Structure 1
Amino acid sequence: MASFDSAQPAPQRTFSLNDPVVRGVIYQIVVAALVILFLVWIINNTAINLRAQNKTSGFDFLWKTAGFDISFSLFPFDRTSFYWEAFLVGLTNTILVAVIGIVLATFLGFTIGIARLSSNYLISRLATVYVETIRNIPLLLQLFFWYFAVLKTMPAVRNSIQLPLDTFINQRGLFVPKPIFDDQFIFVLAALVVAVIGWIALGRWAKARLERTGERFPVFWAGLGASIVLVAIVWFASGASLAFDPPVLNRFNFKGGLELPPELVALALGLTIYTASFIAENVRAGIQSVSYGQTEAAQSLGLKENDRLRLVIVPQAMRVIIPPLTSQYLNLTKNSSLGAAIGYPELVNVFTGTTLNQTGRAIEVISLTMLVYLILSLGTSALMNWYNARVALVER
């Protein structure tokens, strides 16, 4: 009786333009070749035009004297400084206003977003009016409002408005006490870092304990108390000192303290208030995405409204809030370039503006500026994606 092998050998693939795999490879090779040819043409055309205009290229200009002043910087800068130092001033000023804006906009946005869902009619209506008004007014117009209509109309230095904690505001900006640290204060900062790490470790232990035994541990109060004790012990043991130099009004100006120029204050206010209106909508959408059954389950357990929101609703809403929140952080960082319109010395103003006009190195200056914003955006996205993975719901 004859036997037949049921296993048939796989047919060998032959080169054919009718094969979709082959066509896909060919299309990719053609597109890649066209892109490379386009880039080569751009580079060659740029080099020809630069030679025709007798212009040089390269980044050697960064080590030449800038010859201009910058109104606000976090480190010393004058006319004898180099262009690379001007680049660093613009970069640090951009990062400074971006960090301030992100922190304040997050706090304000979450507050307004939760307020929109409040059962109190007045609070929810006020939050709605804030969101619908602020997000429909162009950001540049809001910056002009805060700078020209608010800060520039403040009284002169002699008639400065005094705020709490030895803080003053006038036409020249905001004057706040300046912290003065001694050499031993580095040990206090190290203790603070250790306390934060220990706080995180305590939170993980408490979470594992809750899953294992069902008993809740007061992580916040325990971590706060332990952190205060640790920092206090290191502070007194190291002999570190922290003093504040308050601004004192002299005849024509303030002496001492820390001066925050009106351009920085206006830009930080504008970015915070504008971005917070979009973050509030993200928070509202995230909270409403959580099933109402979760609220009812939390109520059946006897949790108070604040505890329901903090322990049940918001943790589940974060998986919906984080992706659009990342986009708002990126938008805030990029929108800081609008500070050039009100004279704030951020990267676009200092480097793409003054430096480009003086050196004429358009390609190099624009490339460095684009690279900075690309790195800031990718870094922010990577950090937020990592956090999003930490808070994402794990399906079993």
Structure 2
Amino acid sequence: MLRPFDSLPRRGRGPLWRDPAARALVFQVLLLIGLASVIGLLVHNTLQNLDARGINTGFDFLDNRAGFSISQTLISYDGNSTYGRTFVIGLLNTLLVSALGIVAATIIGFTVGIARLSPNYLLAKLATVYVELFRNIPLLLQILFWYIAVIRSMPSPRQSLSLGDMVFLNGRGLFVPAPEPQTGFWFSVAALLAGSVAAMLMARYNRQRQSRTGRRLPMGWIIPALVLGLPVMVFLVSGSPLQWDVPALKGFNFSGGLTVLPELLALWIALSIYTAAFIAEIVRSGIQSVPKGQTEAARALSLPPRLTMNQVIIPQAMRVIIPQMTSQYLNLIKNSSLATAIGYPDLVAVFAGTTLNQVGQSVEIMAMTMAVYLVLSLLVSLLMNIYNARTALRER
């Protein structure tokens, strides 16, 4: 016996061009073919034009002798070094100023962002002036200001500004003591790593213990004891195996110690202050996005303001802060390429500047330079997205 719906005619699949999924697949394939054709045409025309003008192509030039000096090198470099080594040196200098800028900008930005919400009228207004001043002046002008008007205007080495007869600042840079590890110092380094791992495990255990029993361990002194106290104790027990090479004035300049070039100092200050102004607004907006009921509940539980900020407000605000802060980190890394304006030997100045002028293979050099910034940006985005995923809210 037939049921009522069995007698109805079945609707066929219909022509393939009426299927939305099939049409979408065809359009995507056509788009990929068109994009690959355009890229292939550009590469073919570029190679033909370079060959017609007698310009060599390829990356064999990386093995040739560079023959020019670089003011700051984190690895060994001399007149016989290759262009490939200049690429590595420029990359390391870019990573150095980017890492220093990210750390300093984060600390300054969080401090100013929280200060903007302070009940202290003067402190809040000073933080507002800072944000409105530094984020509305072009970064290049700030770099030139710190380099020309501030650091290069410092006194000569003989009239250097000193701090405790160990740190000296003048127009030629910042001179600080250089550490010289002795035998047995690496035991202190191992203790620092072990203490850091133990602190992370203790923090994780403390969170589990709090969710299970509602009680917390006094982590305010446990973490410093593990991260700082343990390495210091090992350092003292092993006989303090660390000496300092203090810079000393000899002739017309300082010798010994560690020298921070004025170009690096100016670029670091400008990048940190400029980016921190944007991070401060991100922090302010993130804190204000937390419902006020959270703060009122913390006050009802008699939590002190510092604990309320650290344990209640900031953890919730980070879910709003992290995605926006990722963009500022990427901007700082890319803005470091402005170092070429003051002669800091970063990747753009050393490789895309001096090396390009000597070799003339612009396509390969610019492609390598752009690839570096692309990889750095993708790596920072990946790390920040992993951290953001760990701090995101999860449905239960």
Aligned to 1:287: 287
Alignment of 1:1-396 (within 5 A): 2-4=1-3, 6=5, 11-164=11-164, 166-235=166-235, 241-396=241-396
Answer whether contact 2:356 2:362 (CA < 8 A) is retained: yes
> Counterparts of 1:134 and 1:233 in 2: how far apart (Å)?
43
| Cα gap change, 1:119 to 1:237, in 2 (>3 Å) | closer
Measured after TM superposition, the shift of residue 18 of structure 1 is 3.2
Answer whether contact 1:63 1:83 (CA < 8 A) is retained: yes
> Counterparts of 2:173 and 2:104 in 1: how far apart (Å)?
19
Measured after TM superposition, the shift of residue 164 of structure 1 is 4.1
> Counterparts of 2:394 and 2:264 in 1: how far apart (Å)?
42
Measured after TM superposition, the shift of residue 231 of structure 1 is 2.0
What is the SS of the residue equivalent to 1:193?
helix
| Cα gap change, 1:93 to 1:10, in 2 (>3 Å) | farther
Of stretches 378-387 and 164-173 in structure 1, the one that deviates more from structure 2 is: 164-173
AA at the equivalent of 1:81 = S
AA at the equivalent of 2:84 = W
> Counterparts of 1:165 and 1:98 in 2: how far apart (Å)?
30
Measured after TM superposition, the shift of residue 73 of structure 1 is 1.2
Measured after TM superposition, the shift of residue 71 of structure 1 is 0.7
> Counterparts of 2:16 and 2:205 in 1: how far apart (Å)?
61
AA at the equivalent of 1:271 = L
Q: Deviations over 1:262-303 (max 9, x none)?
A: 000000000000000000000000000000011100000111
> Counterparts of 1:105 and 1:301 in 2: how far apart (Å)?
34
Number of aligned positions between the proteins = 395
Answer whether contact 1:343 1:349 (CA < 8 A) is retained: yes
Answer whether contact 1:113 1:279 (CA < 8 A) is retained: yes
* TM-score (norm. length: structure 2): 0.96
Of stretches 188-197 and 19-28 in structure 1, the one that deviates more from structure 2 is: 19-28
Measured after TM superposition, the shift of residue 166 of structure 1 is 1.1
Mark the runs of 5 or more structure 1 residues left unpaired by the alignment: none
AA at the equivalent of 2:192 = L
Mark the runs of 5 or more structure 2 residues left unpaired by the alignment: none
Q: Deviations over 1:3-26 (max 9, x none)?
A: 338578975534433332232122
Of stretches 382-391 and 201-210 in structure 1, the one that deviates more from structure 2 is: 382-391
What is the SS of the residue equivalent to 2:17?
coil
> Counterparts of 1:369 and 1:10 in 2: how far apart (Å)?
61
> Counterparts of 2:379 and 2:368 in 1: how far apart (Å)?
16
Measured after TM superposition, the shift of residue 220 of structure 1 is 3.3
Answer whether contact 2:171 2:262 (CA < 8 A) is retained: yes
> Counterparts of 2:225 and 2:334 in 1: how far apart (Å)?
39
Q: Deviations over 1:119-165 (max 9, x none)?
A: 01100000001101100000000000000000111111111111246
AA at the equivalent of 1:90 = G
| Cα gap change, 1:24 to 1:213, in 2 (>3 Å) | same
> Counterparts of 1:92 and 1:259 in 2: how far apart (Å)?
17
Answer whether contact 2:175 2:260 (CA < 8 A) is retained: yes
> Counterparts of 2:352 and 2:164 in 1: how far apart (Å)?
39
> Counterparts of 1:164 and 1:332 in 2: how far apart (Å)?
33
* TM-score (norm. length: structure 1): 0.96
> Counterparts of 1:45 and 1:15 in 2: how far apart (Å)?
41
Measured after TM superposition, the shift of residue 241 of structure 1 is 1.0
Answer whether contact 2:196 2:226 (CA < 8 A) is retained: no
Measured after TM superposition, the shift of residue 182 of structure 1 is 2.6
| Cα gap change, 1:50 to 1:10, in 2 (>3 Å) | farther
Answer whether contact 1:188 1:240 (CA < 8 A) is retained: no
| Cα gap change, 1:352 to 1:34, in 2 (>3 Å) | same
> Counterparts of 1:268 and 1:189 in 2: how far apart (Å)?
27
> Counterparts of 2:165 and 2:107 in 1: how far apart (Å)?
22
AA at the equivalent of 1:36 = A
> Counterparts of 1:21 and 1:228 in 2: how far apart (Å)?
60
